[in-house]
Amino acid sequence: MQIFTDIRSASSHARNLCQRQVLVPTMGALHRGHLELFRLARELAGQEGEVIVSIFVNPLQFAAGGDYGKYPRPEAGDAALCQQAGVDVLFRPATAEMYATEPSVFVEETELAQTLCGKSRPGHFRGVCTVVSKLFNILTPDVAIFGEKDFQQLAIIRRLVRDLNFEIEIVGAPTVREEDGLACSSRNQYLNVAEREQAPVLRRALLRAKDGGTSAAEVLKKTREMISAAPLSRIDYASIVDAESLQPVSLIDENAVLAVAVFFGQTRLIDNIRLR
């Protein structure tokens, strides 16, 4: 595995290679969810192609006072996991390398980013779109993989690629879960024992919503009740939206997605489910 920390060598490596290159952007603190994305990347790249993983905790997508400072950064462990997973290239730039000058140009999606997490975390998707555009420009992959766990992010990245004409195929990967149904997340390690015990209520509530009829209002009411029954939970949002427009729907059809964001203590967890 080759590790690049500077943009120039990562970029010239990527440009001098003719084989299919598949990128998996991450913020590190790797877990089974990430490893599944790496496995899919190898499948799409083939043995001849190249799997590229980026690890960068992007300050631009964190709110002031958010968890940017304490976000876990287990560098050596992450590199070992990449190596074991058969990753070909690890791109791990320092913050000063990615943002060498004070940036005055940003990439902003102005429609899909107005709802759900975009509403609760102003500026978050501007940070995501900006850093993903930079990674696409630096690494010029043929394919990039994003997890369906971050369902709004995936929709916004598809829009970014469409509207800015990146010649990159975007592939969504199913959510990987712990045995009790909690979606794997780098932030799960912030949960204390009691919070961790209660967090799987998210998955149970989402599964229950699947056979809750066609009225979005009724399904949302039951979902909120079920989540709120966990004493340590605090709902940020629970919404039923159209999978493409991300606009709320009142009638549940085959495009309806139930998306939730719930705090357990200081930790904000997200999850979603296709209702049909």
Where on the chain is the footprint of ligand AMP (CB under 6 A)? 26-27, 33-34, 36-37, 146-147, 149-150, 173, 175-176, 183-186
Least distance to ligand AMP, CB of residue 186, Å: 5
Task: Specify the length of the chain in residues.
Answer: 276
The minimum distance between CB 16 and ligand AMP, in angstroms, equals 26
CB neighbours of 203 closer than 8 A, spacing ≥ 6? 177, 180, 181, 182, 183, 271
Contacts with 9 (C-beta within 8 Å, 6 or more apart), sequence order: none
Residue (26 or 198) nearer to ligand AMP, CB: 26
What is the DSSP code string of 37-82?
Answer: HHHHHHHHHTTTSEEEEEE---GGGSPTTSSTTTS---HHHHHHHH
Query: Nearest CA to 178 among 33, 73, 75, 52?
Result: 33
Between strands 233-242 and 89-91, the pairing is unpaired
Nearest distance, CB of residue 58 and ligand AMP, angstroms: 9
Query: Is there a catalytic annotation at residue 34?
Result: yes
- Least distance CB 9 / ligand AMP (angstroms): 23
Residue among 88 and 271 whose Cβ is closer to ligand AMP? 271
| The one catalytic residue among 13, 31, 34, 124 | 34
**Nearest residue (CB) to ligand AMP, 127 versus 220:** 127
Tell me whether residue 74 or residue 213 sits nearer to ligand AMP (CB atom): 74
Query: CB of residue 216 vs ligand AMP: minimum separation in angstroms?
Result: 25
- CA 57 vs. chain centroid, Å, equals 12
Query: Could you give phi then psi for residue 34, rounded to 5 degrees?
Result: -60, -45
Give the CA count within 13 Å in the CB-facing half-sphere of 218.
Answer: 9
Q: Residue 92 or residue 219: which is nearer to ligand AMP going by CB?
A: 92
Q: Are 230 and 198 in contact (CB under 8 A)?
A: yes
User: Could you list the active site residues?
Assistant: 34
